[in-house]
């Protein structure tokens, strides 16, 4: 792996750990510091992807780049506060998940997804967890309930599709994607 990709991956790991620590801190100063770490996460992750030569020929290159772009826009939106910022972030993340799904569908396993054990597990987890989360969001603000349910559905679909790739793809590529 080229040096730039390795450095970007290491930088992402350090940045992600710092962002998690800052997010968990009670200090207002730590939360202000996240205005630096959070917006850097996706660009650094994207840099590690585009500098990795394996991504050059990947059939998932464009969809991954689009997903990362919308993930970054979601992170930026979540720097704001209130329902509008949350909804904008959730919407951007949703478009990102749709981008990933689109890419995964282009290299999907020809066997129907409903036959996939991962697909069934994902559907079961969705059925158990999404309605209570959506109900809780709705109780906080009725605008959020349907959005949380829709975003949970997109996450579920993305996870199921990521684990249901064409078996003719290299095993390492399928594992890395999943």
The span from the CA of 109 to the CA of 134, in Å, is: 31
> Sorting pLDDT into bands at 50, 70 and 90, what band is 175?
confident
The span from the CA of 85 to the CA of 95, in Å, is: 15
Residue 92 has pLDDT above 70, yes or no: yes
**Residue at which a domain ends, from 21, 39, 57:** 57
pLDDT for 43-82, tens place per residue? Answer: 999 999 999 888 888 889 999 999 999 999 999 999 999 9
Same-domain check for residues 26 and 100: no
3-state helix, strand, coil in the chain (%, to 5): 80, 0, 20
Same-domain check for residues 67 and 40: no
- Give the pLDDT of residue 118: 84
Same-domain check for residues 8 and 88: no
Phi and psi torsions of 149, nearest 5°: -65, -45
**What range defines the domain where residue 26 resides?**
1-57
Percent of the chain at pLDDT exceeding 90: 70
Residue 1 has pLDDT above 80, yes or no: no
Domain count, the chain: 2
> Sorting pLDDT into bands at 50, 70 and 90, what band is 32?
very high
Same-domain check for residues 147 and 173: yes
Alpha helices in 51-143 (DSSP H): 53-56, 61-77, 83-106, 117-140
The tokens describing 93, both together, are 């993340």
Nearest alpha-carbon partner for 161 in 17, 34, 63, 83: 63
Predicted TM-score (pTM) of the model is: 0.87
pLDDT for 107-159, tens place per residue? Answer: 998 888 777 888 889 889 999 999 999 999 999 999 899 999 999 999 999 99
């Amino acid at each position: 792996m080229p040096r730039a990709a390795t450095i970007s991956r290491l930088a992402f790991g350090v940045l992600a750990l710092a962002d998690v620590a800052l997010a968990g801190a009670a200090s207002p100063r730590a939360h202000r510091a996240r205005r630096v770490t959070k917006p850097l996460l996706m660009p650094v992750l994207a840099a590690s992807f585009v500098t990795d030569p394996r991504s050059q020929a990947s059939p998932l290159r464009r969809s991954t780049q689009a997903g990362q772009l919308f993930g970054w826009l979601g992170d930026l939106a979540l720097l704001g506060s209130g329902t509008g910022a949350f909804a904008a972030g959730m919407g951007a993340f949703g478009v990102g998940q749709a981008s990933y799904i689109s890419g995964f569908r282009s290299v999907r396993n020809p066997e129907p997804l409903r036959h996939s054990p991962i697909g069934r597990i994902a559907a079961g987890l969705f059925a158990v967890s999404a309605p209570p989360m959506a109900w809780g969001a709705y109780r906080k603000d009725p605008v959020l309930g349907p959005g949380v349910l829709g975003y949970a559905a997109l996450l579920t679909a993305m996870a199921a599709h990521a684990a249901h790739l064409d078996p003719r793809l290299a095993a390492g590529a399928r594992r890395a994607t999943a």
